[in-house]
Structure 1
C-alpha cells in the first residue's frame, strides 16, 4: 500500500502514515474474500493492511522476547524506522497493550489479554505456593496484584483463616495511590507514567491517612525505592495495614503483599514481613533462559 509523507518531513522530523488506497479498497469483494490462512501472495497483497501487519510484528517480537526490549531492539527487529516504531509503541502504550518500565524498556501490557494471559497464569501458578506459605507463617492474608490500567488488580489471594482478617477477592481492584501493592508497582514505573496514571483518577481520601496529592504520592514512592518495600498504613482501610514488594524481572508489573488488621499487624511486624516478601520475590524472578 502507498505510504504518505507530510511535505518536508521524514521519519525523524515528520509523521509517516500507512493509508489505504481508496480506489483499491473499493474493488475488494468483502463477501468473497479469501481465507487469510490460504490466500495466495497476490490475494494477500490486495487485502493486507500494512499498518496492522506492522503492529502484529511488533507485538510478536515483544511476546517472544525473553527480556524487555529497547526501542532500538524493536525497530531493528522489524526493520522499521525508529521514529515510526516509537509512534506505534506510544499508541500501544496509550491503550495499555504495551508497558514501558523504569529503564525505558518495553514489555507487553495488560490490555492485550490474549498475550498476557499465559504469562499471568504462569506467574499465578508459581506464586500460589509461596503465598500460601507466607499466609501460614504470618497468619495474615497474602496477595499477588498486577497493574491493570490505573488501578491494581488482585489476581491471587491466600486468605487468612482468622475470623478477623483483611481480604480482597481475586479480580477485585483497588487504587494505586492508597495501597501497598499499588505503591510497590508504581515505584518501578517512570515518574511521567505515574503522573499520567494519577491524572486519570480522582485521588479521593479513603481514610484520614490517605495521601491525596501527586507530589505527596511521589514522595512516598521515593521512600519505597529507598527501603525496598511499600506500606499502606491505614490509607485504604481504617484498621488495615499492608506491606508489599514489587516482582522484578517478570513480563508483568506485579507485586506481592501481606495484609492484616492494624490492631495486630504492627508496623514493626510489617517491616519484618517485608524481608520474607523480598526473599519470595527474588525466588519468583524468572531464570535467565526463561
Structure 2
C-alpha cells in the first residue's frame, strides 16, 4: 500500500465486486460509455447519472471531460449525449450507413449539375471528406476522400458549424485558428459568427473563393442524423456564378431533406 494514500482512499478506488484492483472512476467512465454505445438516439444527463451512480453535477463533469476529448458529443437541440468521433472505430458502421445513404444523391447531383459533389463530416476542428463524386469535366474542383479542410473557410464547415452551439464554434476556431487561405477568407471570429447567422437564414452555406482562390462551393447540413455532416457542390468560379450557387443551394436543401426523411432501403433521391 502506498504510504501516500490513506486506507479510505484505497478502498474507495476498489470495486466491491471485483478482485480489489478496479478503479471506481474508470468503472464509472466505462458505465457511461457502455450506455452511450448502446443508445441509438442519445441519452439524457439523468440516465448517465443513474448508470454511473453519480449525482447529476458529477455526471455532467464526466461528460464534459469526455466531450473535450471528442469521446462524447452533445446535441445542441435535444441536449442528449452520444458517442463522439473520438471512437472512430465505434462510429465506423454509422459512417458507412451515412455514406451509403448519401452516395446516390451525390451521384445524381453530379450528373445533373456536371460538377463535383461531396459529403463532409466534422472531425475534430476540421472537416473530413467522407465521399466525393468528381465532375467528369477536365477542369474541376475536388478534394480527396479522407482529406481534411478547415472549418472556417469551407462551405461544408460553415454548414456544419451553423448548427453547433456558439461556444463550441468558438472553441473549435480557437483550436484550429483562422488562417487566411485566400484574400477572401473570413479570419475574424465575430465576422464568422455573423456568416453562420446568414447560413441559418438562407439554409445553405457558401465558400466564395475563401478556400481556393478560383473556386466556389455551396453546402447544406444533413439535419436529423446523429452525425455533424453536410453535402456540397463545388466548381471553378468561372462557370459557377453566384446565381448558379443560389440555385444549387435550393437543390441541396431538397436533397438533404430527402436524405433525412427517406429510409435507407427506399432511398431514391430526386434528380436535381
Counterpart in the other structure of 2:98? 123
Residue matched to 1:3: none
Q: Are 2:152 and 2:178, in contact at CA under 8 Å, matched by a contact in 1?
A: yes
Contact 1:256–1:281 (CA<8 Å) still a contact in 2?
A: yes
Note the C-alpha offset of 1:83: 0.8
- The alpha-carbon deviation at position 249 of structure 1 amounts to 1.6
For residues 175-225 of structure 1, the C-alpha deviation after alignment (integer angstroms, 9 at most, x for no partner) is 000100000000010000000111112211111110100001000000001
- Secondary structure of the 2:233 match is strand
Mapped contact 1:58–1:74 kept (Cα < 8 A):
yes
Correspondence 1:94 to 2:68: yes
Name 1:12's counterpart in structure 2. Answer: none
Contact 1:20-1:49 within 8 A present in 2 as well = no
Post-superposition, which runs of at least 4 consecutive aligned residues in structure 1 deviate over 3 A? 19-25, 76-79
Does the residue aligned with 2:221 lie in a helix, a strand or coil?
strand
Normalised TM-score (structure 2): 0.87
The equivalent residue for 1:145 is 120
Structure 1: gaps spanning 5 or more residues: 1-18, 26-40
Q: What runs of 5+ residues in structure 2 fail to find an aligned partner?
A: 1-8, 264-272
Q: Residues 126 and 23 from structure 1, CA distance in 2 versus in 1: closer, same or farther, beyond 3 angstroms?
A: closer
Counterpart of 2:269? none
Aligned ranges 1:72-111 → 2 under 5 Å: 72-103=46-77, 104-111=79-86
Query: 1:118 and 1:105, CA in 2 relative to 1: closer, same or farther beyond 3 A?
Result: same
| Corresponding residue of 1:193 | 168
2:223 matches 1:248: yes
- Aligned residue in 1 for 2:131: 156
What is the root-mean-square deviation in Å for CA atoms of aligned residues? 2.3
Distance across 1 between alignment mates of 2:58 and 2:188:
36
User: Which whole-Å CA distance do the structure 2 matches of 1:90 and 1:24 have between them?
Assistant: 24
Conserved 8 A contact 2:140-2:236: yes
Q: Give me the whole-angstrom Cα distance separating, in 2, the residues matched to 1:268 and 1:225.
A: 19
Identify if the C-alpha distance between structure 1 residues 199 and 235 changes in structure 2 by more than 3 Å, giving closer, same or farther. Answer: same
Question: CA shift at 1:272, angstroms?
Answer: 1.1
Give the aligned partner of residue 259 of structure 2. Answer: 284
